[in-house]
Amino acid sequence: MGNSNIKKAYAISKNIYDDTLTQTKWWSKLYIWFFWSGINDIEIADKVLDMIPSDFAGKLLDVPVGTGVFTLDKYRALTKAEITCVDYSEDMLLQAQKRFSDSKIRNATCMQGDVGNLKFSDETFDIVLSVNGFHAFPDKEKAFFETARVLKKDGIFCGCFYIKGQCKRTDFIVNFLLAKKGWFTPPFQSLQELRLRLSTMYSQVEIDNQKSLVYFKCTK
C-alpha cells in the first residue's frame, strides 16, 4: 500500500472520520461496538494527552495530526508550547488547520509531510505525539526510526494505535476492509511485538491497551 493510496483513502473519508472516531452518529456507535468491542477512542486519546504536562512549554511534534479532533482542547491549553503538526493527507491537514485557527490557537503550525522522512534535525522536539498513526504508516520501521531521531534525549514519545491479536472481529474488519481501502496498512504489530520494539529504542516504556487499541509513553 503506497502513500498515494493512503492519501486518496483519507481524502474520501474526510467527512466521516470525526464522526466515526468520536462516535457522534448512531452508525458510528454501532460500528465501534460491534467491530471494535466498544473501544472509547476519546478516552484513550485523553489518556495519551494526559501524558503531556499541562504546563508544557517546549517543542512538540504531532504526527499525524489528522483533523485535530482529539488534540484541540489540549492545544488550546498549551499556550507556551511550540507545536508542529504534520500529516501526509492535505485534506486532514486543512481540517486541523481550520479547527485550530477557529479556536484562535496561534502556536500550532500545520505542514504536509511524511513520517518516514521528517524534515527536522536530530533531537529537535521535547515530545513526539502520534495518535492513531502507526497502523496507517506504510513503512513502520522508518516511522519508528524518524520519530525517535527527532526526539531529544530524555524526551517523551507517546501515542496510541491499533494492534493485532486482541479481538478477532477487529482483526477481521482491519484486514478485510480497512486495509483494503487504504485506511490501515499492514504489517500490524501485536502487543508483545510492540513492547519489544519500543524497549529496544527507549530507556523507559509504559504500555497498556484497551482491547485492540494500545497506548504508550516512552522516555528516550
Q: Is the pLDDT of residue 63 over 50?
A: yes
Distance from the first to the final alpha carbon of the chain: 30
| Proportion of the chain above pLDDT 70, given as a percent | 84
Which run of H or E residues covers position 111? strand 108-112
pLDDT score at 21: 63
pLDDT per position as a tens digit, 125-138: 999 999 999 999 99
Tally the domains of the chain. 1
8 A C-beta contact, residue 78 and residue 56: yes
Domain carrying residue 145: 3-219
**More confident site: 136 or 12:** 136
CATH number where 151 lies: 3.40.50.150
What does the radius of gyration of the chain's CA atoms come to, in whole angstroms? 16
pTM of the shown model: 0.90
Output the CA–CA distances (angstroms, integers) from residue 93 to 47, 99, 106, in the order listed: 23, 10, 16
